[in-house]
Structure 1
């Protein structure tokens, strides 16, 4: 009989470790954002602090994948988590001493982003190794959906802790959760295999060239990666940055903004839960491409709306179908990747999923600053993405026929 995922000790520990660290991260980000705005009174530099997290993550993500193919993955995750605990302790000491300023926050954010670049390729390439192929889609969906939920719960907990205490409490709680994640991922507990030493001991550059060539010459990998790029560059990035702009343009409140963000998160979580229950095994290529077209359809409708309830509903529907692109694509890529290349391939997929959002942020901000209405910018983004998606579908017959 197929072993239950929740009876798989290694997966259970990796999953719980992921939940703890995502909850800690979400509390950390909200606390730092509020500290910059409320205590330092420097809202203009908040973007610089947040970008300090994403820039090193994007730059180092590929090397993180190379390392995941060379070193035991649980050791990478344990080491990065442990170092993040030390960074959190240092931040608490700086806060208690009154030395936590913008410069130190940017340095802390840079270190966090740098360490994230090694953690995520390791965990995404770990799951296919510790989980059976027939359980892989459920495992990915369970991990992704539940960690998405942490980014809804975390800010609520951080807000409550800031209400009853100060930043020492929220920073300490976040550090404690990351410490719990570190203990759970201790390598002897996970017992994941050590990567086999490769002949010739290739350099990092050779590994990088091999990984890129592997994706570029595989129709399945290339089509899947491009699907995720189109989704994030033309939908997820633009819709995320449009929320505060739309709320401001429509004369909304911070509560309206939270409802829009919650609607998108609810949609992505619902899709993840559906994939866990459904565990679709047939015609996944058609599902990915149909969902990609549906996501652009909902996004285009979203771009024309000017009433908050309808915007919330369309945000949720867009998030729902977007996850039906992302989750099956990740599973298809994992199933069709050699085990010794999983780290590099998954780092490319992760880069496609997160590296293009900052580009979208910059493009949308530039166009809005140029005088274009946000609805017009969103419509142009949706139309361009839809045209490119149709081209991808037409020129990807093998991916379209995948089960």
Structure 2
């Protein structure tokens, strides 16, 4: 820890993680809040998150292979600065009372395109500036910071809105993202890797071929799509759930919104102190089934605190599932294919997020909001229970997992 604290590059990145993380969570809160109160419709919120998630996925898929070919410091500054500019015009439109749903959708698309550039750039920068023996500690600190900001951000934003006006949240966003951009200017530039690399299309096709040869990972990818379809619908539905069903306030929305991050923080801590298990499949499916059941319980909850408990359990289970799923990929996928395979996995898994936000946003007009959470939970539990008996998901868990060709 002392070594990391003396590393100026790490300290600048750490500060940027705090400001960028708060900026992300504040933006998620305020865009949803403003969109909902502008039209009073869950459909509007669903459309908002559809545009945001879709543009984020497009950005990750297209830009991912090229991150290492561009100055990572400049990418991080660009991501923070563009978001600050977007929220400046957001605040200006709100101040002039000229804000419309189409303007909010446009802002969401721009933020969705630039926000995903920060995390892979910072992770890559850290890998090049921190000694290998200190990487685990550095990444643990950064991930803990990330989950902490996700937990505290909605709470702070909800508190500010309940005490003042949403305009002050936007002003806070502009300030912290602007300061983050200035902070990143002090990072030293790294040498670019100018070696020849394959084009995006070729790398993507090679990633697809891996899934064709390994039905286990193909089935897992399809399952992740189904899970993320429900997960993608959770975020936009929380706002009408708190205001319409629980009759809560802006602070209560912030509290419920932070529950997933709080659970993921607990899950990450649990995984840090626990020993690695060879029964990854059992742990993964058990955790996500419990998480789905917790999501369904939101549909029968009648108060803020029980809802917070259920969504915290959901976040905890999601964290355990995600960490073990990543371990599975890291152990079973050859090193020379990981980047391409992870790109395809991102497409298979994340494609369900905007679709879930869009579909559920329209469905909620026909059924009660609490029933939506009952259905979302079952949409996770049922496929996972079926998948437990699929032959393509049976493999020797006690066998050495370093050989990707052995199922």
What band does the TM-score fall into relative to the shorter chain? 0.7 to 0.9
Are 1:215 and 1:221, in contact at CA under 8 Å, matched by a contact in 2? yes
Please give the per-residue CA displacement for 1:215-268, whole angstroms capped at 9, x wherever unaligned.
66678976875675465345x34655665677689x533267665544433211
What does the per-residue CA deviation read over 1:135-172, in whole Å, with 9 as the maximum and x for residues that have no partner? Answer: 55554444334223323322333344445654443222
Mapped to 2, the partners of 1:103 and 1:174 lie a distance apart of 21
Look up the match of 1:319: 315
Indicate the residue corresponding to 2:283 in structure 1. 290
* 391-400 or 51-60, which deviates more: 391-400
Task: Give the length in aligned residue pairs.
Answer: 393
- Correspondence for 1:70: 69
Native 8 Å contact 1:124 1:346 kept in 2:
no
Partner residue in 1 for 2:199: 203
Aligned counterparts of 1:191 and 1:339: Cα–Cα separation in 2:
27
TM-score normalised to structure 1 length:
0.77
Q: CA RMSD in A?
A: 4.1
Preserved CA contact (<8 Å) 1:62 1:347:
yes
When normalised by structure 2's length, the TM-score is 0.76
Q: Which runs of 5+ in 1 are unaligned?
A: none
Equivalent positions of 1:1-400 (< 5 A) are 5-38=4-37, 40-41=38-39, 43=41, 45-131=44-130, 136=135, 138-162=137-161, 165-186=164-185, 189=187, 191-198=189-196, 202-213=198-209, 228-229=224-225, 231-233=227-229, 236-237=231-232, 240=235, 252-254=246-248, 260-276=256-272, 278=273, 280=275, 282-283=276-277, 286-287=279-280, 289-300=282-293, 303=296, 306-308=300-302, 312-330=308-326, 333=329, 346-351=342-347, 354-362=350-358, 364=360, 373-374=371-372, 375=374, 378-391=377-390, 394-397=393-396
Distance change (3 Å), C-alpha of 1:298 and 1:275: closer
| Structure 1, 57-66 or 112-121: larger mean CA deviation | 112-121
Gaps of at least 5 residues in structure 2 are: 403-407
